[in-house]
Amino acid sequence: MAVPELTRFTLDNGLRVVLAPDDTAPVVAVSVHYDVGFRSEPEGRTGFAHLFEHLMFQGSESLEKLAHFRHVQSSGGSFNGSTHPDYTDYYEILPAAALERALFLEADRMRAPKLTQENLANQIDVVKEEIRLNVLNRPYGGFPWILLPPVLYSTFPNAHNGYGGFEDLEQATLDDCAAFFDTYYAPSNAVLTVGGDFTVDRARELIEKHFGDVQFRPRPDRPSFFEPHPVGELRGEHIDPHAPLPALGVGYRMPDPINDLDGYLANLVLAGVLTDGDGSRLQQRLVHREPLVVDLNAGAGLFGPFEARDPDTFTVTAIHPPDVTTERVLGALDEELEKLASTPPDAQELTRVTARWAAGLHQEHDQLLSRTLGFGSFELLYSDAALVSTLADRMAAVTAEDVSAAAKALRPDSRAVLVVKPEGGK
């Protein structure tokens, strides 16, 4: 990806702004990233960051409930939001002529969302239904992203369920909402990104007009979520009433995504070497040659790459027949990691993975909205929006020796193993 012509500046109230003009199509994308995710929610309020994301769509200082939806959709646009470990984002994509409308809408709810008891009660019910649909009533729901962290981690920010427990959600109050907003939804704790068909001067004028008078509030201190690596193998078990087959999740600690980006990228390449495509190491051994599993995946980043600060998790997940034991799958995994640790992958294997990853990255960022969200999240996490455009080159620079070192670090005596059993299974 070519390095974009980005314009970056900060308003007097602390709002960081990234402008990425692109006149290839008459559309604009607007995103706001707030530096708060579910790792920042208070103990006893699991799921609160995600619940608050829902509340941000329930009206604002100048607009009634559902008005945000109506204004975006009547302009021919679409919108959404999402909660991540360390940030929450809100975004729209619209025809270029509607840029001011999108900026007004985001500024209005940054200034003051409509926090009412009715909205809170309604959105608690909505989130609970989402949890039923996506986790409680689905085979392998929450596997591994909800179920594995409490095995691997010991602190509340890293180990708790970011979707939330019903009891915690039901105890959320309007005072909780007001405190969360006042603390984390300050303009100084946010990044506004605009991509698409506009001029920098006009966008800057509109941003000053709509966001300039949002009241300054101090940026909250961001705590470190560091905790030591496990000493020894950690084990956990979960009974899944909907799972047709047993499953296995293995979690390892990864290099710091922010301060050791190249080490983190080596883990991304390693994940591809292990499970990306039929020719990958674990696919060949566990699916085709032996076979031991019916589904297999390795991933760098518990929620995907570049979703979180340190600590982040390298995962290997497998679904296997009942007559295949956990130890047999783990033994094969350890053997393949040992081979990679002692004998680096050859150039062809390495190029296959990096080329496929780069192609996927280019395809993703060929879409204006994805590109805009990438600039915003990288500005927030790395203080460098343009870094997203150099990832493919940095990935291509990962050496076979780097991949070997990454494999060597995934040790049996420093990992979590989660066993998922069907209800009534052994």
pLDDT in tens, 374-414: 999 999 999 999 999 999 999 999 999 999 999 999 999 99
Query: How many other CB atoms sit within 10 Å of the CB of residue 291?
Result: 15
Pairing of strands 295-300, 7-10: unpaired
180 closest CA partner among 64, 40, 13, 59:
40
Structural domain total, the chain: 2
Instruction: Indicate if the pLDDT at residue 365 is higher than 90.
Output: no
Helix 99-111 to helix 67-74 angle (10° resolution) is 170
Question: Rounded mean pLDDT of 72-101?
Answer: 96
Q: Is the domain of 120 the same as that of 59? A: yes
Q: Is the domain of 187 the same as that of 39? A: yes
Q: Tell me if 164 is assigned to some domain.
A: yes
Q: Tell me if 202 is assigned to some domain.
A: yes
Q: Is the domain of 194 the same as that of 253? A: no
Q: Which DSSP state fits 338?
A: H
Instruction: Indicate if the pLDDT at residue 424 is higher than 90.
Output: no
pLDDT band at 256 (very low <50, low <70, confident <90, very high): very high
pLDDT band at 364 (very low <50, low <70, confident <90, very high): confident
Question: Rounded mean pLDDT of 343-356?
Answer: 93
- List beta partners, residue 3: none
SS3 at position 56 = coil
Helix 48-55 to helix 117-131 angle (10° resolution) is 120
373 closest CA partner among 72, 77, 3, 80:
80
Q: Is the domain of 201 the same as that of 82? A: yes
Tokens at 359, concatenated? 């192609």
Q: How far apart are CA 387 and CA 379, in angstroms?
A: 8
pLDDT band at 366 (very low <50, low <70, confident <90, very high): confident
Q: Tell me if 359 is assigned to some domain.
A: no
Q: Which residues span the domain enclosing 148?
A: 7-211
Cis link prior to 311 (omega < 30° from 0)?
yes
Which tens digit of pLDDT belongs to each residue from 163-219?
A: 999 999 999 999 999 999 999 999 999 999 999 999 999 999 999 999 999 999 999
* pLDDT for position 65: 87
Q: Is the domain of 79 the same as that of 190? A: yes
Q: Is the domain of 269 the same as that of 330? A: yes
Pure H helices in 276-346:
281-282, 326-342
Q: Tell me if 47 is assigned to some domain.
A: yes
Q: Is the domain of 86 the same as that of 170? A: yes
* pLDDT for position 104: 97
* pLDDT for position 414: 96
Instruction: Indicate if the pLDDT at residue 425 is higher than 70.
Output: no
Q: Tell me if 300 is assigned to some domain.
A: yes
Q: Is the domain of 128 the same as that of 245? A: no
Which tens digit of pLDDT belongs to each residue from 296-317?
A: 999 999 999 999 999 999 999 9
CATH number at 307 reads 3.30.830.10
* pLDDT for position 3: 55
Tokens at 246, concatenated? 């047993």
Q: How far apart are CA 384 and CA 97, in angstroms?
A: 28
SS3 at position 130 = helix
Q: Is the domain of 173 the same as that of 279? A: no
- List beta partners, residue 91: 31, 80
Q: Is the domain of 15 the same as that of 126? A: yes
